[in-house]
Structure 1
Amino acid sequence: MGLGVLEDRSSLQHVPGTVFLNDSAGDAGGAAHELEHGSGKDANIVLSPQPSEDPSDPLNWPMWQKEVIIGILSLGAMLNAGTNGPLLNASYLSIAEDLQTDLTTVVLASGHNLLAAGCIGPFVAAFSRKLGKRPVFLVSTLFAIIGTAVGEAEVSYTYLLAARIIQGFSTSAFESLIVATVGDIYFVHHRGLRTSSLASIICGLVFADLGYLWLFHLFQILLVIQFEAMFLFCPETTYNRDSRYKTDETKHEKLDELAKVEMRHHEEALTSSDLPKKKTFVQSLAVWTGVYLPDSIFKFLLGPFITLLNPAALYAIIVSGLLNSWYVGSAIILAGIFAGPPWMYGPASIGYFGAGPFIGGMIGSIFVGWLSDTVIKWISKRNGGT
């Protein structure tokens, strides 16, 4: 029976979880040639997912607009995820001295920051699926702005603790939803370059040169700039596209049926003006654009926990969690180790310890970003188009 199962799988025309990307896909038949393709050097690439006829479909947005959106959201990730957590790492001992408390107490403030980031995660996932990503991104940055305002109000441990907790609520959205946003607006063969990340190492230098409150002052300036840019130029990217267009998600693509639909749409477009009108700039500023899924919000809240029942998902969560724990833990203890004897390093010198991860991450991001889309196209061509 096992051999029979293997034979059935080996005879599948299309393995679930893969997509047709290249015209050389023999098992796609003539259907692939009738679908929407890329342009220029990607003229042989079958777009996946297939864009709808709606000009407001994020897949139909011009490339410059997509790049602006990802650029602004990436700045948000650098601030809310890449800088928010490590904001005080290089300065813990000096801050403890300023606040006249012990190092452990100050470090616990950032521990509460991480706890807040973890607790808000299920709510970020639930509300982004129900109400869209734009309101979640905007509210998340507002948490960072409010928390930072509390932190810069007074040099006090009570204010510091409150600030770090409120700031923590901003992290989760920018750690998780940007990858989903890439999937919203880019086709499969464009996604690899947009999933790289960098880090920030300037906080120790800022503390050494400008003092405790300027960590929050400068952070606040950048947060407000990013929030304004996001409000003006990052419209909602969640889009309820007909399932037949989701060739990157559906288990069994009906390419022949989709090709017929596309041919009919092209024929009708020549004589019909009934296509949806593209949203105006003012309309794109709407914070809330409706309910995207009818399911209960409680179902979405339980979703991340139900995912833990999947062994593969559980394994990925444990591995990534351990890696992040070691990374965060090692960054936090730097000040405790190197600020005291025999090294007696200041905040700026401790901050420079982040140069290694920064350079390594930058090289890795450039290499992976440059290579990933090229490899996807090359492999799909060798694999008969999938």
Structure 2
Amino acid sequence: MWPPGTVRLEEKGIHVGQDVILQPRPTDDPNDPLNWPAWRKYLNLGLVCFWVAMVAEFINAPTPTWGPMNEELGFSYKVLNDSYAAGCAALGLGSVLLIPFALKFGRRPLYLLSTLVQFAVSVWSAKMQTVVDLMLINVLQCFFASLAESIVQMTIADVFFVHQRGRMNTLYVWVWLFATYLGPLIAGFVAKGQGWRWVWWWNVIIFGVSIFAVAFGYEETKYIPLSVTSGPSEADNREIESAPGAGDEKANSFPKKPVEDIGTAEFAASPAVESAAVITVGTAVTINRNIPQKTYWQRLALFTTTPSSRSSHDSFLRHIYQPLILLTTIPAIAYAALVYGILVGLGDVMSTTMSTFLPEAPYNFSSDQVGLMHLPRMIGVTIGALITGPLSDWWIVYISRRRDGVYDPEVRLWCVVPFLPFIPAGALLFGIGLNNQLAWPVIAVGLALYNVGVTPVNSLIITYLTDSYKEIIGDALVGVTLVRNSFSTAFIFALTPWIDRIGVKYVLVTILLIACAFLSLFGVFIRFGKAFRERTSSRYQFYARRQYKERSSI
């Protein structure tokens, strides 16, 4: 039997490119998000991307306002750096406490709640007066903004198929990073032209519009099959009393009968998790017209709650600690967390050092000029995204055809390799340029090159994780987010004394060496990633059965 993540994308013997097998397999329910028409899928994703853009902008827009805030309110740059670090800590903690609610009650209430909180905090930011205000604003805003780093991949996995996820995750990463850099650029001009408080008054206006867009436009993507009326059965509970070891093959719940004997109907009723078995069924999906479609107002229900069981209380609480177990026992999750964390941490260090050094001599940049330095980052992100998204989805189908239609998630990782040299080249050019006070175009080119490399790496490592462990992706991404923000928090808190001791160039070189050590392990996962998935398959299935009953219950 195949390990989790390995699926058949094309049938043997068909004309090349004629059909792609839909993975995961849709149901016959017209309300299944996998069966939605394309316009509904893209409208939903468009609203999510708009929400992501606003959240990312809010997190990063303050940096061009640091100079004016320093002058008006007397906040030191160390205090401002510490407020950024406090926000990073809240980003890591927020997902741990909020994602269990998304798993239990659906994605929609979390998107709406986060938007409401961002609106309220925008008003507070515009009226800020004290350091306490500054710290609490960063912590509260980032706590709810943390959802943008984990819930979006859950939404993409709910709605899109394996052969589409590369483009969708690349779109998400592009929106996140583009807004991360566009926010400070716009904020710089607003701070100079209207005053720094108007950065937040504009956020009040736009988040006010966002509340209505999310409330009346975003549909719930969590799908509960009609057959699911209760939580785990007593047999399920007995089966998961104790977790299996990573190598315990007896606990592996793959189907034991030959693949050829499993018919489509039996597959539709099977509790096996996505891609646990080799299923070669056709691409056509027959919709059961006897199942009524939900009305518009039904689709906008505030909660989509998984039916409770006697163990529902434990089921909810364990999603708080399960991410830590998965993080430390499944290699791909740990590796994704390290790569994502070190690259985002390095990017955050570049942002804060730029905001601190460029307003000083010899550059003497104004707030709008500091904002304009994010333009090369936006260019780099866009170049990386335009290449990576279409390339990775085309590549996996192409390679699968050469392997009798079989797809392994490690195939995507080959697309990372051409972009790896851009990361050290860009970071070194930025660090040396800033340290040696070289002309600003040198720093700008370094920022652009770094982001050409980072965008493909981040989007592909997330897609690799989603393809490999779709049924536990919520818990997995909580672990990734926790590590990712731990790097940023540690680096930013230590940044000021660290730079004072060894200089900005060597700070960046040190972080870059750590990043290169992590990135070099891509070759290990390209070569041995499938073996890792095989060895941890029983653990994956164990935790997949502990999830709230959604598609895997079919």
What TM-score, normalized by structure 1, do the two folds share? 0.82
CA distance in 2, matches of 1:210, 1:258: 66
Report if the CA contact (8 A) 2:222-2:304 is conserved. no
Give 1:277's aligned residue. Answer: 292
Give 2:102's aligned residue. Answer: 128
CA distance in 2, matches of 1:42, 1:148: 50
Shift of 1:49: 1.1
Measured against aligned partners, the alpha-carbon deviations of 1:332-354 in whole angstroms (never above 9, x if no partner) come to 12121111122111111111111
Give the direction of change, closer, same or farther, for the CA distance of 1:103–1:23 in structure 2 (3 Å limit).
same
Q: Does 1:164 align with 2:138?
A: yes
Report if the CA contact (8 A) 1:95-1:106 is conserved. no
Report if the CA contact (8 A) 2:224-2:306 is conserved. no
Q: Does 1:95 align with 2:69?
A: yes
Give 2:321's aligned residue. Answer: 302
Give the direction of change, closer, same or farther, for the CA distance of 1:260–1:102 in structure 2 (3 Å limit).
closer
Give 2:206's aligned residue. Answer: 222
Give 1:7's aligned residue. Answer: none
CA distance in 2, matches of 1:292, 1:174: 26
Report if the CA contact (8 A) 1:204-1:348 is conserved. yes
CA distance in 2, matches of 1:113, 1:263: 45
Give 1:18's aligned residue. Answer: 6
3-state DSSP of counterpart to 2:297: helix
CA distance in 2, matches of 1:257, 1:156: 66
Q: Does 1:331 align with 2:351?
A: yes
What TM-score, normalized by structure 2, do the two folds share? 0.58
Give the direction of change, closer, same or farther, for the CA distance of 1:122–1:42 in structure 2 (3 Å limit).
farther
Shift of 1:15: 5.0
Give 2:116's aligned residue. Answer: 142
Give 1:30's aligned residue. Answer: none
Give 1:291's aligned residue. Answer: 306
Give 1:209's aligned residue. Answer: 193
Give 2:532's aligned residue. Answer: none
3-state DSSP of counterpart to 2:374: helix
Measured against aligned partners, the alpha-carbon deviations of 1:299-322 in whole angstroms (never above 9, x if no partner) come to 100011112322623233223212
3-state DSSP of counterpart to 2:112: helix
Give 1:106's aligned residue. Answer: 80
Give the direction of change, closer, same or farther, for the CA distance of 1:53–1:262 in structure 2 (3 Å limit).
farther
Q: Which 5+ residue runs of structure 1 have no aligned equivalent?
A: 1-11, 27-32, 34-40, 244-249
CA distance in 1, matches of 2:325, 2:265: 38
Shift of 1:63: 0.4
Give 1:237's aligned residue. Answer: 221
**In terms of mean alpha carbon deviation, does 130-139 or 252-261 score higher?**
252-261
Give the direction of change, closer, same or farther, for the CA distance of 1:161–1:230 in structure 2 (3 Å limit).
same
CA distance in 2, matches of 1:255, 1:239: 29
Give 1:361's aligned residue. Answer: 381
Q: Which amino acid aligns with 1:300?
A: H
3-state DSSP of counterpart to 1:236: coil
1:48 to 23, 39, 51: 23
CA distance in 2, matches of 1:43, 1:255: 22
Q: Percent identity?
A: 26
Give 1:6's aligned residue. Answer: none
Measured against aligned partners, the alpha-carbon deviations of 1:329-383 in whole angstroms (never above 9, x if no partner) come to 2101212111112211111111111112110101111111222221121111111
Q: Which 5+ residue runs of structure 2 have no aligned equivalent?
A: 228-252, 270-285, 407-554
Give 1:3's aligned residue. Answer: none
CA distance in 2, matches of 1:354, 1:227: 28
Give the direction of change, closer, same or farther, for the CA distance of 1:141–1:254 in structure 2 (3 Å limit).
farther
CA distance in 2, matches of 1:226, 1:251: 44
CA distance in 2, matches of 1:378, 1:105: 52
